[in-house]
Amino acid sequence: MLEAKVQNLLKNIYQRSLCLAVIGSGYVGLPTAALFADAGFHVTAIDIKPEIVKAVNDGFSPINEPRLDELISRNVQAGRLRATSSLEALTQADAVIVSVQTPIDQNKRPNLSFLMKAIEDVGRALREGMLIVVSSTIPPGTMLENVKPKLEVLSGLKVETDFYLAYVPERIAPGKAIREFVENPRLVGGVGPKSTKIASALYRTVCKTVIETEASTAEVAKLAENTFRDINIAYANQLALLCENYGVDVEEVIKLANTHPRVNIHFPGAGVGGPCLTKDPYLLISEARNIKVNLIRVAREINDLMPYHAVEIILNALRDNGIEVSKSKVALLGVAYKGGVSDTRNSPAETIINELLLNGVNVSVYDPYTNETFDAEKAESLEEACNDADLIAIITDHPEFRHIELEKIKELVKHKLIVDGRRIINPSYASNCGFKYYGIGYGLKSDESS
């Protein structure tokens, strides 16, 4: 027989009478708040940024994410969703989801100050029978060594006896957040079986599949996913560097290797950006002891090298074609960290633009998704960016750049040089249009490079 507190929470979940507070209303917290409100719960989204609070209460999304505007507007109007900067909402909540940032510092060490501040706020408001969920990405051991003791000390309550605590990592990618929140299997790791049961019941109201585990395993599993991807991309990037040496095309090499049924190499490129892959591998190794050779760190170093490698290709292409770097103009296509999104967090474009500007290059940036330029000149169109350019550099694989009509652009440019940082232009097409093609991992045979 389940104790009354657990039964009460489960009943409130099934009947949608549970009051939910979400601390941190960013790229993850806001889709979380909006989707739980849409499932019928009363949700308060808490954030310290007044512009986020205002936007949500006015019924629209402060971030560019498909379907989020519609979800926010519908649920604010229905009175199920509101935003606030006040922690007062915690005193009314039956469940709290913490979704604040957990960045790394300059030494690549986790900075848990935002998380622990939120946990302190929750700890002070904690009452018997509440469910607390951490959704922020965290280093292994954080739930048991930091979060649980802090909540217990501040509240004087005991987890699994008086309140419930679970780690439920997010698995959503910007641009697909709403769909992936619902569709991707969700890991739910309680610090004990009752916590797992209650948190699972809550997430089953929104997510199609919930997989139950325990908190410490879920912490490592979350980090293992993004680290797998980072290492796989690093391998593709390493191959790209080797192929440049050997005068062969990495794209062809990967295509051929991937015909093996057990091989699935990812794509090389001008760098790995975004909020997750640039950080999560460091969180995974942050508490490790006695690891003598660290594959995860080396993979990060390879991926961090790629924007500099892209700059090297650009500068060499200019010089090899007799163009003075400090008098050159580069049309740089794409500032977002990946194709099809406006998100520029940790984008490789930032490093590339900085390096080009330091070398005195006049950089004209075009990105149909964002106004960010990282101090380069902004072009309103592809044509404006390419006008009088010495070289076109593709940095983000936006769908629009996959079908650039080089035969039209060639009339605008001063020199017909293209550096394909994402390998989205067919080299023969570029060359048929009169462009000299350079690309990440596109090894030039000696007859081509002369």
Q: Just list the catalytic residues.
A: 222, 276
Of 358-417, binders to ligand SAJ (CB under 6 A) are none
- Integer Cα distance of 89 and 96 in angstroms: 10
Other beta carbons within 10 Å of 94: 20
Q: Using CB under 6 A, pick the residue from 119, 172, 178, 440 that binds ligand SAJ.
A: 172
Q: Minimal distance in Å, beta carbon 416 to ligand SAJ? A: 26
Separation between Cα atoms, residue 409 and residue 308, nearest integer Å: 26
Query: For ligand SAJ, which is the closer residue by CB, 19 or 173?
Result: 173
Whether the Cβ atoms of residue 274 and residue 338 lie closer than 8 Å to each other: yes
Q: How far apart are CA 51 and CA 320, in angstroms?
A: 49
Measuring CA to CA, which residue among 216, 212, 224, 220 is closest to residue 185? Answer: 212
Binds ligand SAJ by CB under 6 A, chosen from 42, 171, 197, 416: 171
Q: Does 166 bind ligand SAJ (CB under 6 A)?
A: no
Strands (DSSP E) along 147-291, which ranges? 164-167, 186-190, 210-214
- DSSP structure class, residue 215: H
Minimum CB–partner distance for residue 188 and ligand SAJ (Å): 16
Nearer to ligand SAJ among residue 296 and residue 433 (C-beta) = 296
CB closer to ligand SAJ out of 37 and 233: 233
- Interaction residues for ligand SAJ, span 178-217 (CB under 6 A): none
Give 241-308 as a DSSP string: HHHHHHT-BHHHHHHHHTTSTT-------S---SSSTTTHHHHHHTT--S-SS-HHHHHHHHHHHHHH
Q: Which is nearer to ligand SAJ, 393 or 413 (CB)?
A: 393
Q: Minimum distance from CB of 176 to ligand SAJ (Å)?
A: 8
Among 129, 174, 307, 439, binds ligand SAJ (CB under 6 A): 174
Residues 321-340 that bind ligand SAJ (CB under 6 A): 337-338
SS3 of the chain: helix, strand, coil, percent, to 5:
45, 15, 40
Return the residues of window 255-274 that contact ligand SAJ according to CB under 6 A: 266-267, 269, 272-274
Cβ proximity to ligand SAJ: between 22 and 233 the closer is 233
Supply the minimum distance, in Å, between the C-beta of residue 149 and ligand SAJ.
26
Query: Residues 305, 364: contact at Cβ < 8 Å?
Result: no
- Stretch of 75-83, 118-126, 172-180, 351-359 contacting ligand SAJ, by CB under 6 A: 172-180
Minimum CB distance to ligand SAJ smaller for 190 or for 274: 274
Tell me the site size for ligand SAJ, rule CB under 6 A. 19
Q: Which residues contact 428 (CB under 8 A, 6 or more apart)?
A: none
Are 70 and 102 spatial neighbours (Cβ–Cβ below 8 Å)?
Answer: no
Tell me 164's DSSP state.
Answer: E
Q: 72 or 395: whose CB is closer to ligand SAJ? A: 395
Closest separation in Å from C-beta 225 to ligand SAJ: 4
The Cα–Cα gap between 20 and 46 comes to: 11
Nearest approach in angstroms of CB 341 to ligand SAJ is 8
Q: Which of residues 64-103 bind ligand SAJ (CB under 6 A)?
A: none
Write out the binding residues for ligand SAJ, residues 221-250 only, by CB under 6 A.
225-226, 229, 233
Q: How far is CA 252 from CA 212, 230, 240, in A?
A: 41, 21, 11
**Interface contacts to ligand SAJ, rule CB under 6 A:** 170-174, 225-226, 229, 233, 266-267, 269, 272-274, 276-277, 337-338
